[in-house]
Structure 1
């Protein structure tokens, strides 16, 4: 790899590592303020938390541990813990609303102003939003900052994935999403002990936000996307990148040749032979095509169900009867196998891996639900739920690539935007099916049933592994027709 490629990869990995700290701030805040209202939980038999109350980081009723005393003393000093505990429950909702808002305009901003400046601004704003509540502990300010942090997090994701992929040769484009997801999982594990060691609200915010703030100077040297520079005709910047080293020059020549070929191919696909040159067809006509509508509906549902299950378990990890901080650590550890997904995709393809992951996720969540109803071990209940979360993360990872390969060039970005919007709506719906930091019975049924339905819907999609990207609706119709897998075919493969 060239020095510029290495610069992109390790700096984006560092950003993702620290972004996870503030992503789970509401989980840590809810765990720390649970001591402010002992016994204020929903009834047993209706929620996981009612069946298995958290064991490790809470004291017995009537007793006050040393850490809880610190949090309560903070409230008397104006550090706002128990004084406005009820306000904190809205922090997660506003954060998810911020993710939804960021998905609406994050891509447009990066296309217009460049991925690098949008990424740098969002990382700076996110770090400042994490530090401010430590200096100004006001409930309304905290909620506004959580929404702004969610917007920045979504824009960081959009710009980071695009930058990493566009600095990678086509043959290796499966690996950047896996690498960034793995770094986010490492950050999830590292954030848990930091939060556990924070004795007050002020120190919690500082310990989770200061690392990103300190590393801001390292991010300034992140290079811009070569594809965006080529589109904007910023050849002086490209020439400066080429002059860094021979390896950078060779890398840029390869990437720009690929980008130029893709742009010419997309430009030709935007014109139909039956129309005069220069007149692009109406995108609405393509979106109404039965093939596009079917694929758009299936992918939208898969992303909605994936977000509902993944974030439902991820943001309510303390509801399985295990200490929140240890559960959060193992939640990040359970996502480490995502690095194996590119190998699985190369071996078995997109559709089989998606179907297997959806089925295993639904089955694991269903077993977790059944064990919780019959007083199973909390560790086993949480382990099954984390297995379901890992499988849904696999579905999310595959969907990033699958969606690009399913839709034609003429409407690809619009279809992907609609699919992404459904993903964010699924995140937001979690706030309606979970309450008081506990996963209800109805919510767990949704988490297990949604993936099962999605597994069946995958039968309607074709396998796109090794198939050229479609440029028109006609190319989509010429793709291999979806067929249910047969035992004979699987035996012949073996």
Structure 2
């Protein structure tokens, strides 16, 4: 968990500077080597150090892979990458249970996990760089090389960068007008913008409570009275339906609110049943339902974060949101359990109430489904902001509906009196 926290601090900054593809390739190669070291040199201090480095690499891989997958996807299908990547994560979680059951020692388990990574290393070289990062860095030679790969790549790049270049030119001209001849404004100025601060605070809270709920159930999966290997397998299986979330045509904000509310409600019902000696299978099923819903909220929030923040500070904002997620993981690892090994009452109250509060906070966020990614803070300000209706607007709406209802009630009678001769013709 400390390694994941350090990766959240470093991942966004180094990927903004050196590129997402470079950071991703380095972390993948280091991650593969770190998986092999514990199997060959099982020393306690070395093991802890390697696990910390593995956590850093895992966090950087998650940040860069999600961002690259979303940026290389057209806006209409942008919800599929964050759904497919957690689905692969659930497959790995399910596969870990039989591998652990079949492995007689920890060294054998680490060796079994490390060898497939080493075999797949050459495949990662085909991963492309972020097109928007290349555009920001004015790496037009790389973009032209991507365009020359195939007509499909050229069409995809033209679609992704159709409005980005003109928007970035406008933002650059505006910056020159504001500070002619002076230094360019730093990223801290963009981070202090009220719109960015509000969105960053809400998304950080959602990430923290999602981590508390998700890892709280994962770490206590053996506390529901079911075998640990079968519980681990079904824990991974419960995450697989997240692949179907993109089929729900609701938008980012409604799906997030629905997932957070269902997660809190399921955890609350699981808490009630566990306190009244309910069936272990039913208690675990409700807890896994809450885990499924909070996972859906997690990957929606990852996509939501990418769409909410401007390109100039997007990766750093995503890293700060991920940092809040990792802080929630660290706090969760310190939560004590009851003497009989079950989840404590205070922990389950946090797991159930946190997502419900986050559901209400989502009302302050705009809807970004199908909208181009913002490249500047001005683009964020131009996004439609949700506003609660005023009493005057509600009164005007009620009067309009009432008048239309009265007209609809009187219109059929008037129509029958004046247009009776044409009725038969209309039926024909």
- TM-score, L = length of structure 2: 0.80
Equivalent position SS for 1:224: coil
Task: Specify the alignment match of 1:186 in structure 2.
Answer: 91
> What is the rounded CA distance, in whole Å, between the counterparts of 1:473 and 1:253 in structure 2?
23
Matched, 1:381 2:286: no
Q: Is the 8 A contact 2:366 2:383 kept in 1?
A: no
Rounded Cα–Cα distance in structure 2 between residues aligned with 1:120 and 1:469: 25
Aligned residue for 1:223, secondary structure, equals coil
Paired position in structure 1 for 2:262: 360
Correspondence 1:392 to 2:297: no
Q: How many angstroms apart in 2 are the aligned matches of 1:475 and 1:244?
A: 33
Deviation at 1:381, TM superposition (A): 1.2
Mapping of residues 238-249 of structure 1, within 5 Å: 238-249=143-154
Please name the residue that 1:144 is paired with: 49
Q: How does 1:260-409 map to 2 (within 5 A)?
A: 260-268=165-173, 270=175, 276=180, 291-344=195-248, 347-407=249-309
Determine whether 1:222 maps to 2:127.
yes
**Counterparts of 2:379 and 2:284 in 1: how far apart (Å)?**
47
Q: Aligned in 2, Cα 1:448/1:268: closer, same or farther, shift over 3 Å?
A: farther
1:365·1:385 contact (CA, 8 Å) conserved in 2? Answer: yes
Q: Relative to 1, partners in 2 of residues 1:314 and 1:263: Cα closer, same or farther, differing over 3 Å?
A: farther
Aligned residues: 391
The match for 2:25 among 98, 102, 120 is: 120
How far off its partner does 1:129 sit? Answer: 1.6
1:353 CA drift (Å): 1.9
Q: In 2, distance between residues paired with 1:473 and 1:108?
A: 22
The range that moved more, 216-225 or 279-288, is 279-288
Cα distance change on mapping 1:286 and 1:368 into 2, 3 Å: same
Counterpart of 2:323 in structure 1 is 421
Cα offset for 1:387? Answer: 0.8
Residues 263 and 288 of structure 1: CA distance in aligned 2, closer, same or farther (over 3 Å): closer
Whole-angstrom distance in 2 between the partners of 1:352 and 1:338: 15
Give how far 1:117 is off: 2.7
**Of the candidates 13, 16, 21, which is equivalent to residue 108 of structure 1?**
13
**1:342 CA drift (Å):** 2.4
**1:430 pairs with 2:332:** yes
Bigger Cα displacement from structure 2, 128-137 vs 404-413: 404-413
Residue 147 of structure 1 and its aligned partner are, at CA, apart by 0.8
Q: State the 1:183 CA deviation.
A: 1.2
The change in CA–CA distance for 1:267 and 1:314 in structure 2 (over 3 A counts) is farther
Which is greater in Rg?
Answer: 2
CA distance in 2, matches of 1:409, 1:227: 8
Q: What is the Cα deviation at residue 254 of structure 1?
A: 3.7
SS of alignment partner, residue 322 of structure 1: coil
Shift in CA distance, 339/378, structure 1 to aligned 2, threshold 3 Å:
same
How many Å separate the matches in 2 of 1:441 and 1:474? 45
Aligned equivalent of 1:74: none
- Cα separation, partners in 2 of 1:267 and 1:183, compared to 1, 3 Å: farther
Distance in 1 (CA, whole Å) between partners of 2:58 and 2:178 is 44
- Give, in whole Å, the separation in 2 of the partners of 1:157 and 1:400: 10
- 5+ residue gaps, structure 1: 1-95
Deviation at 1:426, TM superposition (A): 0.8
After TM superposition, list the pairs within 5 Å mapping 1:73-92 onto structure 2. none
Q: CA deviation at 1:349?
A: 2.5
Distance (Å, rounded) in 1 between the aligned partners of 2:138 and 2:317: 27
In the alignment, which residue of structure 2 is the partner of 1:133?
A: 38
In the other structure, the counterpart of 1:86 is: none
3-state DSSP class of the match of 1:342? helix
Q: Secondary structure at the match of 1:367?
A: helix
* Structure 1 residues 285 and 229: CA distance shift in structure 2, 3 A: closer
- Identify if the C-alpha distance between structure 1 residues 231 and 468 changes in structure 2 by more than 3 Å, giving closer, same or farther: closer
**Counterpart secondary structure, 2:334:** helix
Q: Distance in 2 between matches of 1:178 and 1:482?
A: 29
Could you tell me how far 1:282 is from its partner in structure 2?
6.9
Mark the CA change 1:201 to 1:410 in structure 2 (over 3 Å): closer, same or farther: closer
Question: Do 2:13 and 2:316's aligned partners in 1 also have CA atoms closer than 8 Å?
Answer: no
The equivalent residue for 2:79 is: 174
RMSD, matched Cα: 3.2
